[in-house]
Chain A
Amino acid sequence: MFPFPPIALLAATAAGQVAHCEPMRLNDLGHLLQVMGTFLGLSLFSLGGGNTLLSEYHQISVDQFCWLTSTQFADLYALAEAAPGPSSMLVGLLGMGAGWPEGPGWALLSAYGAELAILLPSTLLMVVACLRWNRLRDSTWRIAFERGLGPITLGILFAVGLKILHTADTNTPGLIVSLLVCVLMLRTRISPLWFMAVAGVLGGLGVINR
C-alpha cells in the first residue's frame, strides 16, 4: 500500500496508463451517494445539450473510479446513441456499470441514482428559467452567457469527439468508417441508426476490430 495515495496516483499516471486500478466498490449506501454526488456536481456544467460532459464521464468512470474499462465505456456510449431516447441516458448505463459487481439489483439502483443525479439540478434550474424567462430574456447577463459560452462549447465538443475516437480505438478500416460517418452525418440526413447497423455488420464480419 502506498502511504500517500495522491503520489501513487501521480506515479501511475506518469507511467503512461493506469494499468489496473482498484474499482471503487459500491457495497453500501455511502458509496452510492458518492456516485450520485459526483453526477449532481456535473449536472450544471452540461453545456450545449449535454454531450460536452462525455470526456468527463470517461475520466470519472474509467480513470478515477475504475468502474469500467475504456472499451466498455465506448460500448456503452454506442449503446446509448443507438437506443431510442436522449443519449444523455448514458449516465444511467455508467451507474449500472458501477453497481454491476454487486449484482443486478445494485446495478439498477445505482443506474437510477446516477441518472436522477445528473438530471435533477439542470431540471430545477430550467424550471426557474422558464418561470423567469420574461425578465431574463433581455438581461445582459444572459446575452453574455450565450455568446461567451458558445465558442467554449465548440472547443469542448471537438475535444470530446477526439476523445471518443481515441476511446473507440479501432483498426484502420474502423477509423475510415468513423471518418466516413462523420462526413455523412454533416452532409446527409440519413438516420444514424443505419450507420450503426452497417458498421455492426462490418464488425460481425471481422472487417472492423479493435
Chain B
Amino acid sequence: MGMLQVALSAFGGGLSAWSQRIVVEERCWMSNEEFLTGLTVARLFPGPNQINMAVYVGTFFHGLRGALVALAGMLLLPFTLLMVLGLAYFSFHTLPAIDRVLAGVVAAAAGMALSMGFKILGQYRRDPVALLLAAATLVAMEGFHVRLVPLVLVAGPLAMAWYWPRAEASRLPKP
C-alpha cells in the first residue's frame, strides 16, 4: 500500500504513457491489457481522467480502500503545492508586476483551452449527426446560455437514443 502511494504521487504530472511505465513495466502491478482497460474506463466515466486512472489502479488491488489511498497518494503533493500557490496568488495578485505577467500566462492558457475541442474533432469528421449535435450544443451554451446540467440531461438521452446500438449495426468500429 505504501509503495502504491509513493509511485502514484510520481505521476501526478502525468501523461498516461508515464504512468504505464511505472505501473506495468517497473512495478508489474498489472498486465498491459488490464492497464489499457483502465484507460478506457477512466475516459468513459465522469471525473478527471488521471484521477480516475489512479482510482482504477487502487480499486484493482484493494477495492474502495485502495482507491482512496491511490487518490490520496496522487493528489496530496500536487494539491498542497497548488494551495501554496493559491495563497500566494490571493496575497499578491494586486501587485502590478504580478498582474502583468499573469495577463500573458492567461493568454497562453486560453489558447490551451481553445485547443481541447479541436483535439477530439478529428474522430467525428465522418459523422454529420455528431457534428450537428456538437454544433447544437455549442449554440445552446454560447448563444442561449443554457447551463450544463439541464443541457446534458436533455441532450444526453436524445443522443443516446440516436446512437442506440441496433442489432445489425453492432459491429461498428470501436472508437
**A and B found bound together:** yes
Please give the residue numbers on chain A whose beta carbons come within 8 Å of chain B beta carbons, in ascending order.
41-56, 59, 72, 74-89, 92-93, 96-97, 100, 104, 107-108, 111, 115, 119, 122-127, 129-131, 133, 140, 142-165, 167-168, 170, 174-175, 177-186, 192, 195-196, 198-204, 206-210
Contacting pair B115 A81 (CB below 8 A):
no
Contacting pair A83 B82 (CB below 8 A):
yes
Rounded to whole angstroms, the CA-CA distance of A124 and B52 in the bound complex is 10
Contacting pair A54 B79 (CB below 8 A):
no
What is the minimal beta-carbon distance from A175 to any residue of chain B, in angstroms? 7
Residues in B8-59 with C-beta less than 8 Å from chain A? 12-13, 37-38, 41-52, 55-56, 59
Contacting pair A92 B82 (CB below 8 A):
yes
Known A49-B49, A100-B90, A115-B79; contact A159-B141, beta-carbon cutoff 8 A = yes
| B159 close to chain A: CB less than 8 A | yes
What is the minimal beta-carbon distance from B107 to any residue of chain A, in angstroms? 4
Per a CB cutoff under 8 Å, which of B44, B85, B93, B148 touches A83?
Answer: B85
What is the minimal beta-carbon distance from A148 to any residue of chain B, in angstroms? 4
Rounded to whole angstroms, the CA-CA distance of A49 and B124 in the bound complex is 18
What is the minimal beta-carbon distance from B35 to any residue of chain A, in angstroms? 13
The 5 closest A-B pairs by CB, nearest first: A203-B104, A85-B78, A155-B137, A181-B111, A122-B47
Chain B neighbourhood of A162, CB < 8 A: 114, 142
The chain B residue with its CB closest to the CB of A208 is B104
What is the minimal beta-carbon distance from A12 to any residue of chain B, in angstroms? 14
Chain B neighbourhood of A155, CB < 8 A: 133-138, 140-141
Chain B neighbourhood of A54, CB < 8 A: 113
Rounded to whole angstroms, the CA-CA distance of A68 and B67 in the bound complex is 33
Rounded to whole angstroms, the CA-CA distance of A56 and B130 in the bound complex is 23
* Max chain B C-beta neighbours (<10 A), residue from A86, A93, A209: A86
Known A46-B47, A170-B103, A174-B107; contact A75-B115, beta-carbon cutoff 8 A = no
Contacting pair B63 A88 (CB below 8 A):
no
Chain A neighbourhood of B90, CB < 8 A: 96-97, 100, 107
0/1 string, B119-137, CB within 8 A of A gives 1: 1110110010111011111
What is the minimal beta-carbon distance from B82 to any residue of chain A, in angstroms? 5
Known A46-B46, A49-B43, A192-B108; contact A200-B101, beta-carbon cutoff 8 A = yes
| B152 close to chain A: CB less than 8 A | yes
Rounded to whole angstroms, the CA-CA distance of A93 and B79 in the bound complex is 10
Contacting pair A168 B107 (CB below 8 A):
yes
| B102 close to chain A: CB less than 8 A | yes
Rounded to whole angstroms, the CA-CA distance of A207 and B101 in the bound complex is 10
